[in-house]
Chains A and B, each alone.
Chain A
Amino acid sequence: MQASDRFNINSQLEHLQAKYVGTGHADLSRFEWTVNIQRDSYASYIGHYPMLSYFAIAENESIGRERYNFMQKMLLPCGLPPEREDE
């Protein structure tokens, strides 16, 4: 690898993608994008206690249960991934 390669846009992007989960790329599918957004949202709900309580009141569940449900939903936030079209 040449020294200049480290600074070109692609390697910078790769670095970002490795470091920050959810950094997009040109071939990002709609599904992948949504999954990221959903996971970010759930993480934000879990992190902000007042918001978690707000959901807990709406669903009449305990806050602990609500947090667990959100964690569980992070596995498949948007259902199953679509069939991949072979290139």
Chain B
Amino acid sequence: MYLYSLTLQQATGIVCAINGNFSGGKTQEIAVARGKILDLLRPDENGKIQTIHSVEVFGAIRSLAQFRLTGAQKDYIVVGSDSGRIVILEYNKEKNVFDKVHQETFGKSGCRRIVPGQYVAVDPKGRAVMIGACEKQKLVYVLNRDTTARLTISSPLEAHKSHTICYSLCGVDCGFDNPIFAAIELDYSEADQDPTGQAASEAQKHLTFYELDLGLNHVSRKWSNPVDNGANMLVTVPGGADGPSGVLVCAENFVIYMNQGHPDVRAVIPRRTDLPAERGVLVVSAAVHKQKTMFFFLIQTEYGDVFKVTLDHNGDHVSELKVKYFDTIPVASSICVLKLGFLFSASEFGNHGLYQFQAIGEEPDVESSSSNLMETEEGFQPVFFQPRRLKNLVRIDQVESLMPLMDMKVLNIFEEETPQIFSLCGRGPRSSLRILRPGLAITEMAVSQLPGQPSAVWTVKKNVSDEFDAYIVVSFTNATLVLSIGEQVEEVNDSGFLDTTPSLAVSLIGDDSLMQVHPNGIRHIREDGRINEWRTPGKRSIVKVGYNRLQVVIALSGGELIYFEADMTGQLMEVEKHEMSGDVACLDIAPVPEGRKRSRFLAVGSYDNTVRILSLDPDDCLQILSVQSVSSAPESLLFLEVQASIGGDDGADHPANLFLNSGLQNGVLFRTVVDMVTGQLSDSRSRFLGLKPPKLFSISVRGRSAMLCLSSRPWLGYIHRGHFHLTPLSYETLEFAAPFSSDQCAEGVVSVAGDALRIFMIDRLGETFNETVVPLRYTPRKFVLHPKRKLLVIIESDQGAFTAEEREAARKECFEAGGVGENGNGNADQMENGADDEDKEDPLSDEQYGYPKAESEKWVSCIRVLDPKTATTTCLLELQDNEAAYSVCTVNFHDKEYGTLLAVGTVKGMQFWPKKNLVAGFIHIYRFVEDGKSLELLHKTQVEGVPLALCQFQGRLLAGIGPVLRLYDLGKKRLLRKCENKLFPNTIISIQTYRDRIYVGDIQESFHYCKYRRDENQLYIFADDCVPRWLTASHHVDFDTMAGADKFGNVYFVRLPQDLSEEIEEDPTGGKIKWEQGKLNGAPNKVDEIVQFHVGDVVTCLQKASMIPGGSESIMYGTVMGSIGALHAFTSRDDVDFFSHLEMHMRQEYPPLCGRDHMAYRSAYFPVKDVIDGDLCEQFPTLPMDLQRKIADELDRTPAEILKKLEDARNKII
């Protein structure tokens, strides 16, 4: 079995983000690392985040930093990754790619303890960069310019110190003196040697300054000073002319200003009033904002509160450090302050936000300062505050993030054409169920009912130079309705259009006149109101029409074509006639090329399953240039012209191309390339779109021509970043559509469906899925589908949180306190806030502030029944007494008394640390009542361990309780033990069954294949895996095969060899005799690993599903970082050969951007086996043309054929 791996939805979580002017000039961009993806984002003028560029680097990006050479206008990016190399990237605006400027190898690849890459720090003046590891190693590279102003990089200078852990690294701004880097270090050598523990308790963190002597080309430890033992992060303080220099040390509960030869200035970080006393406050992200005259820092704590830190300084002397409460936003992995007054917050979990500054915290608020720091016997006096709603920031945009994707199922609950992906995302109060549908999201602008069933719709401008459309013309079976577009859309009668007949086409002709084609003729309405009418000869009527701004071709019944052209005066002149062999099915004329008088090509589709290209040139007018036979009669034709691109914002460069698209009656869209000179057709591709014959319309998206295909659902064909995408729109079936442009909606689409006129806009391009969000209460863990009622049962649980009642009580209390202004330091301002807050519906939404923290042994959990169709929760059971739900399954016991029951495995008082401990485990059995909408507890059975896996098996319930696999039957008062096997190595986390086989996944030891013998009532293991795998997800593929994913980011398949499987099935004892001969505690038989692939992200769910109707199934996976991917089995040996060769050439010719070897990355833990990386293959179109041709030559194909293969492979999956 060979698999093709393809990422369907790229990771949406963010590891780190930096901001800078990467494209040069004034615009600020944000570079974000999403694990193995590097993205460049930019807020556009409407304050929406746009992705400018995205590249998969096949390596783990761990840190980013930006720097600028003195006097330059452009920032470079330094990437610290797992490649053992330092990589410096420059964004190339013209080509829209990242250029690798430098790549220097310094160590082994992989995320290792002493190989640098975890931290990157740059000198603020851009003269040097330091790259550090968790322990020991730090390397400094000197950056400079050569005579042609190109960036140069020196050989590395070592600043190692062994037995030293490094917590954070930053550059120190010391103007143009020698560059200095600061590090928080901890020496552990003595603690390792001292059995009394004294050395360990005395271990002291140090702030160390490393100075790079540019003259001597040498790095020395310049200064080392003890620092607070809770220190975890450093922030550069502006120096030189801008500030006092030095660093801010963020420590647990404190912010400390430190510099060489300067006394420490310390201030406490204010605490939330409801925070348990034993918990510290840790800073997790920070940003600095620098203007000409002032600077300040924003630091965010682990609870999401943002504080503004300011320094009062006089020259180099800092007299006071103030920490003032700013606002509370969801916890971020990085925050970036942009010059335009935006704050980008890359959330740890859940959607990322773009905020605009309303104020910069000048107003009085809770503040702690170094000057009123009080030291008491128990330490420093804390300062308290109460979070309030946003005052200084306002959110203007958010970027969806699925991180963390906890569970996922592909189901077709809504009975749509394609299945939906139901995914459990987020954590704590920001958790949600997201329903993903493949396709682009649209925004509906207006829906209005029309009298009768419209058959077609067009929009026209009055003049070619107009920006917006003037009329919407709707045709019915016997009439035409004209609507004028203005402040309102209303019916008009003075347009000159004939309203007593249906229309076939309405368009602008020449510069300023309008044309209406109806079955009996062509009505030409001149700008001054004169009307010219051309009538069809005899009794013949017009059946089809093709037109552009200057040319019209009509087809009469019987198959005669008549060609008109608009002359210099705007008059429509008949040019040529041509008799076709039979009736014409459809027509289209290519748009008039820029600067020409006419387009050269006419396409005619006939009912004999052919499409012909005819010439419209005067010298060979209506002569057939080429013929293409198609699989079914064409229904609609459309020329789509793709302008030449040399990259830029749109992406990869590609030459100009003309595509002929034909929608066939069997629902297939057929796309061929038309040679722009000869009209010859080549390179055809087809794709099934739906059950209805696709109708094709030309619209414009982002100023480029795109194609709308209306089959049983609408599709959009467009070019995005150099790729042609054909993507469904998440909208209902449409009959007819036209582009629409007005001052409210510059690029919309007007369409008819049923008896309604619909105007909509297409949102973000380039997305694979659009989502519908249903909020949840706690971190969702798992969910199951009630098979008959199509309801979802979700279990949610959170550690260290208060129950809903406790939270409600606490909130009331806090508002009472806030109302009388007694919280924190009793600020007068607080009173006002309290009053304001009550005006808002939800003054303190948990979504933004997070749940208050409780002790870590407290658990909250709930079981929810959710109707996905209405997105409503029909039943929500909150568990009591620190009980948390861990596993769920539906079960039908064989006595059938109750029908489908729900089994939920729970644990009371679970504790992970310092030792795993629990009070008791339970299995709850619930009965569905009220049509499955509600749950009723039947009984609760206590078990001795954590029931992490439940599964129905032969009318009984199988439960994995710690290392025990047990079979239960339903009793009146409790579950009854029937049979058990205690021979599992650690903890059972998954159980799947098929016939009499049971596939058990162990948390640490991969899969165990078991059998149940009913006659002897025995469960026994007959095969297991020889590789220790820390399973995170598993899925049963077939009788002998299991798919699994481990904690380290690998996906693998294991299979029981065919002969063994047969032997076991034929053996009357079921392989039991052999079982007794198992050695070293293992099973007698071993499964083979048949597939192995490193995804590079923790896979949390696996499922076998097909995303296209009638397509073959692939294995879909979801990951913690919020990406969704698929593994699709190849069906032919030729394809395997082709793709493995393409992959090989791609590896050689186009090594990954951040320096990690592709093969090594995919084999990070185990050698990759029988999986071809589609993500790498799909980078083929982004290669330069000559490289594409070179690879294509090696494969004996043309680049276009390779693109077609890639497109086909993708179309098989989604």
Contact = CB atoms under 8 A, between A and B. Distances in A.
Interface of A: 20-22, 32, 35, 39-40, 42-44, 46-51, 53-54, 56-65, 68, 71, 74-76, 80-84
Contact of A74 (B188, B348, B404): B188
Contacts of A61: 302
A22 B113 contact: yes
Nearest to B192: A81
A80 B113 CA distance: 21
Contacts of A75: 165, 186, 188, 191, 200, 203
Contacts of B113: 21-22, 39-40, 43-44
Interface stretch (B473-481, B795-803, B984-992): B795-803
Contact of A63 (B196, B348, B1047): B348
B284 A65 contact: yes
Contacts of B284: 62-65
B592 interface: no
B285 A43 contact: no
A81 B188 contact: no
Contacts of A51: 1047-1049, 1098
B195 interface: yes
A38 B458 CA distance: 69
Interface string B326-355: 000001010000000000000011000000
Nearest to A61: B302
B798 A60 contact: yes
A50 B1121 contact: yes
B165 A21 contact: no
Contacts, number: 144
A71 B111 CA distance: 15
A35 B192 contact: yes
A79 to B, nearest CB: 9
Given A62-B348, A81-B194, A71 B200 contact: no
A15 to B, nearest CB: 14
A84 B195 contact: yes
Nearest to A64: B284
A57 B35 CA distance: 17
Interface string B251-290: 0100000000000000000000000000000111100000
A81 B1096 CA distance: 35
A39 B135 contact: yes
A53 B192 contact: no
B133 to A, nearest CB: 8
A42 B194 CA distance: 22
Contact of B799 (A35, A59, A71, A80): A59
Given A43-B111, A48-B1049, A54-B1047, A60 B302 contact: no
B197 A80 contact: yes
Chain B interface bracket (under 10, 10 to 19, 20 to 34, 35 or more): 35 or more
Contacts of A64: 282-285, 302, 331, 333, 348
A63 B252 CA distance: 15
Nearest to A75: B188
A44 B1048 CA distance: 10
Contact of B1049 (A50, A56, A60, A74): A50
Q: Which of A32, A43, A60 has the most CB of B within 10 A?
A: A60
A60 B428 contact: yes
B13 interface: yes
Nearest to B108: A20
A48 B282 contact: no
Given A53-B1120, A80-B200, A81-B195, A46 B348 contact: no
A82 B232 CA distance: 29
Contacts of B112: 40, 43-44, 47
A87 to B, nearest CB: 15
B114 interface: yes
B1120 A50 contact: yes
A68 B253 CA distance: 14
Q: Which of B192, B197, B1121 has the most CB of A within 10 A?
A: B192
Given A22-B113, A50-B1121, A64-B333, A71 B232 contact: yes
Given A43-B133, A47-B117, A49-B15, 19 more contacts: A21-B114, A43-B113, A49-B35, A50-B1098, A51-B1048, A53-B13, A53-B1121, A54-B1047, A62-B302, A63-B284, A64-B282, A64-B285, A64-B333, A65-B284, A68-B167, A68-B252, A71-B134, A75-B165, A80-B196
B59 to A, nearest CB: 12
B906 interface: no
Nearest to A35: B192
Nearest to B912: A59
B427 A46 contact: no
A39 B188 CA distance: 11
27 contacts: A21-B113, A32-B192, A40-B113, A43-B118, A43-B135, A47-B62, A47-B118, A50-B1096, A51-B1049, A53-B1120, A54-B1032, A56-B348, A57-B349, A60-B779, A61-B302, A62-B282, A62-B284, A63-B333, A68-B232, A71-B232, A74-B165, A75-B165, A75-B186, A80-B200, A81-B194, A81-B195, A82-B195
Contacts of A82: 195
A48 B119 CA distance: 13
B912 A58 contact: yes
Contacts of A35: 192
B195 A74 contact: no
Contacts of A58: 912
B136 interface: yes
Contacts of B1112: none
A6 B331 CA distance: 54
Interface string B1066-1101: 000000000000000000000000000000111000
B203 A65 contact: no
Contacts of A63: 284, 331, 333, 348
Given A21-B135, A40-B112, A81-B192, A47 B60 contact: yes
A57 B427 contact: yes
Given A21-B135, A50-B1049, A71-B167, A57 B1120 contact: yes
Contacts of A44: 111-113
The 9 A-B residue pairs with the shortest CB-CB distance, nearest first, are A64-B284, A47-B111, A43-B113, A62-B302, A60-B799, A43-B134, A50-B1098, A49-B15, A50-B1097
B162 interface: yes
Contact of B135 (A68, A74, A81): A74
B311 interface: no
Contacts of B465: none
Given A50-B1121, A51-B1048, A62 B331 contact: yes
Contact of A71 (B162, B165, B333): B165
A68 B195 CA distance: 25
A42 B800 CA distance: 23
B135 A53 contact: no
Contacts of B283: 64
Contact of B195 (A42, A53, A57, A83): A83
Contact of B60 (A49, A53, A60, A83): A49
B193 interface: yes
Contact of A60 (B801, B1048, B1119): B801
A18 to B, nearest CB: 8
B82 interface: yes
B113 to A, nearest CB: 4
Nearest to A63: B348
B403 interface: yes
A21 B1097 contact: no
A20 B114 contact: yes
Contacts of A53: 13, 348-349, 403-404, 1098, 1120-1121
Contacts of B1097: 50
Contacts of A84: 195
A63 B283 CA distance: 11
A62 B112 CA distance: 23
Contacts of A57: 349, 404, 406, 427, 779, 1120
B409 to A, nearest CB: 19
B191 A76 contact: yes
Contact of A46 (B118, B188, B349, B798): B118
